[in-house]
A = this chain, B = another copy of it.
Amino acid sequence: MERRSFVQGAGLAGVLAAGVAPAVVHAQANLRWRLTSAFPKSLDTIYGAAETFAAKVRAMSGGKFEISVHPGGELVPMPGLVDAVQNGTVEMGHTAPYYYFGKNDCFALGCAIPFGLNSRQMTAWQYDGNGLKLMREFYSNYGFTSFPMGNTGAQMGGWFRKEIKTVADMNGLKFRVGGFAGRVTGRLGTVSQNIAGGEIYQALEKGTIDAAEWVGPYDDQKLGFNKVAPFYHYPGWWEGGPQLDLYVNQKAFDGLSAEYKAIIESAAAYAHTEMQAKYDVRNPAALKQLVAGGTKLVAFPKPVLDASFKAAMDLYSEISASNPAWKKIYDDYSAFRREANLWFRFTEARFDSYMQTARL
């Protein structure tokens, strides 16, 4: 396959050159691939991860492997991304896997589930635990492979017109919340609303919805939710560390040279790390500005977290009973989650809590 890619890319002169000095000529064809993002350009940290990735691939290949990055909707609408990568309409997609839980709940495990792993734990499970291996095994049913490519860190719980003080306050709440998380909040009585990012502000202003979650301070501030809903609850317990994935059509990937395969892996690793860094650099200033502007930062009451936690664990038991693929991945995920939190509660948590209250 390497030979074939080379011949395709190099043309006659290349073949001649290879005949003269095969040791010198790389199995690196000129390639042009397309990557569809699930996101608009306005989410510059998330969308930007795909651009960073493409830039690194371009640089490492000396401009021979060119990947054009397209915002959601330009080539493929976000809901069609999995099908498009599966069918080879595009070679690559960059997305939040949980969007596709309607196909199979396992997609959520590759991104975020309520009361799941935090950002660093998710990366550990993927890079050195069984996470990436198990998710790739699952994704093989859809004809693509995956690479971790970004994380937002723990998101905020979102914007509420009225403060949530009791579990009963969740009952009947018209809440714009992601689909998989909505299956948990729904058990507390919320009515999930599926509203595109650009329409949330108006819905919140008019009172068509009572609350909406988006990402965190940096992204939320740009959409101005603070002007129409005063209470900013935390934590976003349904997204403690959502991972973005790069999906690559398996046949296209298999046709690459070993060099290009390795280049994709490390370029994705760079973009993975940089995206979390960007959020960690940008969120603090945005939060300060929001609070200075009157936003009320309020923790969800513990009884709300407890009721939500129970609802989440009940849901996972039910899915495990009916979906063997979920059970296989979730058993590993939940064992890792238990061990990781046992360790993190000591030196990491104590160091962090001391620093967070120190006079810096």
Q: Which residues of B are found within 8 Å of A240, using beta-carbon distances?
A: 351-352, 355
Query: What is the minimal beta-carbon distance from A156 to any residue of chain B, in angstroms?
Result: 5
Of the listed stretches A71-79, A191-199, A221-229, A255-263, chain B binds A255-263
Query: Given the complex of chains A and B, what is the CA–CA distance between A157 and B341 in angstroms?
Result: 19
| B-contacting residues, A47-84, CB 8 Å | 56, 59-62, 64
A104 within 8 A of B: no
A252 within 8 A of B: no
| B-contacting residues, A303-329, CB 8 Å | 305, 309
A43 within 8 A of B: no
Query: Given the complex of chains A and B, what is the CA–CA distance between A65 and B157 in angstroms?
Result: 48
Query: What is the minimal beta-carbon distance from A300 to any residue of chain B, in angstroms?
Result: 8
Q: Which residue of B lies closest to A260 (CB)?
A: B60
Query: Given the complex of chains A and B, what is the CA–CA distance between A297 and B127 in angstroms?
Result: 28
Query: What is the minimal beta-carbon distance from A224 to any residue of chain B, in angstroms?
Result: 20
- A342 close to B288 (CB less than 8 A): yes
Which of B17, B123, B274, B355 contacts A20 (CB under 8 A)?
B17
Proximity bits, A159-177, B CB within 8 Å = 1, else 0: 0000000000000000000
- A280 close to B340 (CB less than 8 A): yes
A25 within 8 A of B: yes
- A118 close to B234 (CB less than 8 A): no
- Copies, count: 2
Query: Given the complex of chains A and B, what is the CA–CA distance between A216 and B258 in angstroms?
Result: 37
A356 within 8 A of B: yes
Among A124, A258, A356, which residue has the most Cβ atoms of chain B within 10 A? Answer: A124
| B-contacting residues, A193-230, CB 8 Å | 216-217
Residues of A whose CB lies within 8 Å of any CB of B are 10, 13-14, 16-18, 20-21, 23-28, 56, 59-62, 64, 115, 118-121, 123-129, 153-157, 216-217, 234-237, 240, 257-259, 261-263, 265-267, 269-270, 272-274, 276-278, 280-281, 283-285, 287-288, 297, 299, 305, 309, 334, 336-358, 360
Known: A127-B274, A216-B347, A266-B266. 4 other contacts (CB 8 A): A14-B24, A25-B26, A120-B276, A341-B352
Q: List 5 A-B contacts (CB under 8 A).
A: A10-B24, A14-B21, A125-B281, A235-B350, A341-B356
